[in-house]
Amino acid sequence: MRIISNTSKLKNYILVISFSLIFTEFYFFNWKTQFFVSNAYLIFNTLVLFIFSLVLFFLIYLIYSKINSVLSENIIRIIDATIFSLVIFKLIQILFFYANIIDFKSLFAILLKKIFFGNLLFLVSFLKIILPYLLIFFFIFFLKKKYFEIIINFIISFSLVFFTFMVFDISKRIENTFYKDLNIDTINDKRKVIWLLLDEYDPSYIENKYGLNLKYTNRIIEKSVMHNRTFSPSDATLYSAPSTLMKTQIKNVIFEDFKMKILDKNNKKIDFNIENTIFNSIIDEKFSFQIFSEALPYCTMLRLNNNCEKNFNQIKFYFDGVINTLTPIKYFPKILEVFNNRSKFNIDKINNFNVKNNKEIFLSKELNIDMEKFEDIINEDKNLFYFHLFLPHTNNKGHLVSSKHIRDKFNMNAESDLEHYLMKLKYTDILLNKIYNILDKIDDKEILLLVTSDHWRRVDSPNQAKPSLFVSKIFGDNQKYQLENDILNIFIPDLIIAFLREEIETHNQIKSFLKNLPFFDLKDTRLF
């Protein structure tokens, strides 16, 4: 089965181009299903990847064509099957990406989880890749020579079909590659708001649930205003966070021309852009803000070049496509995890855990913000610091949310989603204590700390809304209040603006503000 030698040079050159296109399309259509990736980032990475792939496959072809004649038939069959299986594996995944229902590897993962359980579950991450590839490999290896021409034509045809789709998609994306440079003149940085949006933090776990002792969180609550019946607009972050930032009750999310719109309760379409969020109100009031997120890509969604962390429109990110598509680098952490020597989950050990060094605790590992860096950040002349953290969220579409640094910190593994959740809750507890202590030392600013969540822990109540977290603390006021009236948390932007305007000075005024909010029927929370 000497494909190289039995195929014309022109056909081989077309194959090289097709291989390059398929790897490029694999990367592009994988991201295409994720609406929030920066268009500039995606387009540039796609172009760089295609050029790099073309050069790489052309060099492989030149080398292979030179040695092809001296290799045995069996070696040739193995090499051919290896290369073509890899390409077809990518091609099949593109079909699944384009369907945007479930990806190919996830389908195998579902099947494998029926077979493997407990300590063997780690095998799923590897087998969902290896197993489908091997099936394709054996199919190609034992394929009769006469059918190989069909395979080649199949590869070339589909690479061109998806190339057409890709070009059409890119042509539309080019219109949306421009981002705003904000010019904000802060007139007063006397007041600061630190808003921590904690992803899937369920307040029902604060009261010693499953034996978990969140002593630091409870200590903060004893000096704060806590609302026990604050509901999120939705049980999904994509709905809940924009709805809150826009002060608008949400019915649905719509994507049109690579822009996100929300459908309000009156079925009116509203663009999710900076003009329709609290950030525009901040600008209008001559205040300033900074956005940090490891959950939603606000820089891309709001098209911001500045005042926003984690913007992929930077040169250092423009080789991500090559690195993640043509190298196995993303699998190394998973391989290393297999050989970890952490102890088993122990609730008592977690409850008694503490950290003294601020550099050992990260507000965000992804953004490389330890507590020393956090202290530097909040000392900047900004009025609102918005942190959307992937804490204590554990599960995203069946995949464990990365928390290696947390497991390393506790030196523990967690076998269940609940154990992961409890571990991340305790880490959040320690983190909140560090944040509180840092803010408490600042005596030349008036500071409001808001600790909220975008929704409850969904596996505990998938069919009915539960309260989300809401804790507010003005430093210098230690009066405790707890409220119980049902309200929707889209009020938060108004509370922030009122504090920055110096219309709210005390916890008692926050209590009055919350008690005067309209009643919310929890049946109006958007559930999935």
- 156 & 198 share domain: no
Residue 284 has pLDDT above 60, yes or no: yes
Please say whether the beta carbons of 45 and 23 come within 8 A: no
CATH number of the domain that 484 lies in? 3.40.720
Tokens 């030392």 found at: 441
- 56 & 199 share domain: no
- Over range 89-116, report the average pLDDT: 67
- Residue 5: what residue type? S
Would you say the C-alpha torsion 307, 313, 314, 319 has a positive or negative sign?
Answer: positive
- 86 & 216 share domain: no
What would the pLDDT profile of 354-409 be if each residue is shown by its tens digit? 776 767 788 888 888 899 999 999 998 899 999 999 889 886 544 455 577 888 88
CB-based burial label for 356 (10 Å; 0-12, 13-18, 19+): exposed
Q: Does residue 65 lie within any of the structural domains? A: yes
pLDDT of res. 36? 67
Q: Does residue 285 lie within any of the structural domains? A: yes
Q: Does residue 260 lie within any of the structural domains? A: no
How many distinct structural domains can be found in the chain? 2
Q: Does residue 257 lie within any of the structural domains? A: no
Residues 6+ apart with CB under 8 A from 272: 242, 246, 259, 260, 261, 262, 301, 302
- 368 & 508 share domain: yes
Would you say the C-alpha torsion 223, 228, 232, 236 has a positive or negative sign?
Answer: positive
Q: Of 459, 524, 528, 492, whose CA–CA distance to 233 is shortest? A: 524
- 76 & 17 share domain: yes
pLDDT of res. 99? 65
Q: What is the mean pLDDT of the chain?
A: 83
- Over range 488-505, report the average pLDDT: 94
Please say whether the beta carbons of 246 and 257 come within 8 A: no
- 14 & 156 share domain: yes
Q: Of 332, 297, 314, whose CA–CA distance to 45 is shortest? A: 314
Termini Cα distance of the chain: 52
Tokens at 486, concatenated: 């049902």
Higher-pLDDT residue of 145, 454: 454
Q: Which domain holds residue 145?
A: 3-176
- 432 & 340 share domain: yes
Residue 1 has pLDDT above 50, yes or no: no
Per DSSP, 41 falls in state H
Q: Does residue 436 lie within any of the structural domains? A: yes
- 208 & 161 share domain: no
> Cα(250)–Cα(90) distance, rounded to whole angstroms?
38
pLDDT band, very low/low/confident/very high, at 331 (cuts 50, 70, 90): low
Tokens at 298, concatenated: 């606000």
> Cα(5)–Cα(343) distance, rounded to whole angstroms?
56
Q: Does residue 163 lie within any of the structural domains? A: yes
* The last residue of a domain, from among 148, 176, 204: 176
What would the pLDDT profile of 110-119 be if each residue is shown by its tens digit? 665 556 555 5
- Over range 487-499, report the average pLDDT: 94
Lowest-confidence segment of 136-150, 217-231, 481-495 by average pLDDT: 136-150
Q: Does residue 353 lie within any of the structural domains? A: yes
Q: Does residue 188 lie within any of the structural domains? A: no
pLDDT band, very low/low/confident/very high, at 12 (cuts 50, 70, 90): confident
Tokens at 312, concatenated: 């992929």
* Percent of the chain whose predicted confidence (pLDDT) is above 70: 84
Per DSSP, 185 falls in state -
- 213 & 154 share domain: no
Higher-pLDDT residue of 454, 341: 454
> Cα(463)–Cα(456) distance, rounded to whole angstroms?
12
- 477 & 333 share domain: yes
Q: Cis omega before residue 392 (within 30°)?
A: yes
pLDDT band, very low/low/confident/very high, at 281 (cuts 50, 70, 90): very high
How is 235-280 classified by DSSP, letter by letter? SSHHHHHHHHHTT--EEEEEEETTEEEEEETT--EEE-SGGGSHHH
- 92 & 198 share domain: no
- 359 & 396 share domain: yes
What would the pLDDT profile of 36-54 be if each residue is shown by its tens digit? 677 778 888 899 999 999 9
What would the pLDDT profile of 157-190 be if each residue is shown by its tens digit? 989 999 998 898 888 787 766 677 777 766 677 8
Lowest-confidence segment of 9-13, 185-189, 292-296, 446-450 by average pLDDT: 185-189
